[in-house]
Amino acid sequence: MELIIADDGQDPIHDLVEGKPGIKYLRLNEKITIGSKRNYLNDNANGDIMVCMDDDDYYPPVRVAHAVEKLTNSDKLIAASSEMLIYFINKIGLFKSGPFHENHGSNATFAYKKEYLLNNRYDDTKTIAEEVSFTNNFTNLMIQLDSKSTILVIAHNTNTFDKENLIFLPSGELNPDFKKVSTAELIINEKAFEFYKNMLH
């Protein structure tokens, strides 16, 4: 397995990963669109299955194994989780979104076989919602992943897209696509949870 990191941050993390086996570090000297960044990562990948991970969300230890097992046992080329738990660190709480439909998912939950890239590529101009064109408007057949084995989305005020705009309608009412749930459903250990909260405040 290889971990590929595309780093365009103001505080490069090269010193944290230098010399560690299985890690390919790609330093970007300028900001590029999210579509271009995802293509750049795929172009530099050697594996047969790509498992997407964003740097500000939490992924359980089984994330890679779960996605690889699902894809290996399926003739479908792409997997995702349409259902997600989203934790707002600004005290709003924990919400569950989806599932919406069987061919839907956020890029942060994607995993796909290299074969999928023969006919699908991210739109280099996209700065948000890059999933739509990459999945042909969510018509490409997907296998659904278990959300708790895939991701805990960490919503904060520096997200590319402000997720609070999704949770609440202009009237202030809760969007019916989202459900507030107990933090007992959190799939993260307390130490990791505190790390994310402190890092993103």
For the stretch 3-60, pLDDT in tens is: 999 999 899 999 999 999 999 999 999 999 999 999 999 999 999 999 999 988 999 9
pLDDT band of residue 190 (cuts 50, 70, 90) is confident
User: CA 131 to CA 110: how far, in whole Å?
Assistant: 9
What's the one-letter identity of residue 160? T
Residue 72 CB-density burial (10 A; 0-12 exposed, 13-18 middle, 19+ buried): exposed
- Mean pLDDT over residues 159-186, rounded? 78
| Residue 96 pLDDT > 80 | yes
Please spell the DSSP secondary structure of 62-86, one letter per residue: THHHHHHHHHHT-S-SEEE-S-EEE
| Residue 67 pLDDT > 90 | yes
Instruction: Parse the chain into domains and list their residue ranges.
Output: 49-200
H helix intervals, the chain: 14-17, 34-43, 63-72, 131-134, 164-167, 190-200
User: CA 8 to CA 99: how far, in whole Å?
Assistant: 32
pLDDT of residue 118: 98
Share of the chain above pLDDT 70, in %: 92
CB 152 within 8 A of CB 85: yes
User: CA 108 to CA 41: how far, in whole Å?
Assistant: 14
| Residue 196 pLDDT > 90 | no
Whole-structure pTM value: 0.90
pLDDT of residue 173: 87
For the stretch 106-162, pLDDT in tens is: 999 999 999 999 999 999 999 999 999 999 999 999 999 999 999 999 886 655 555
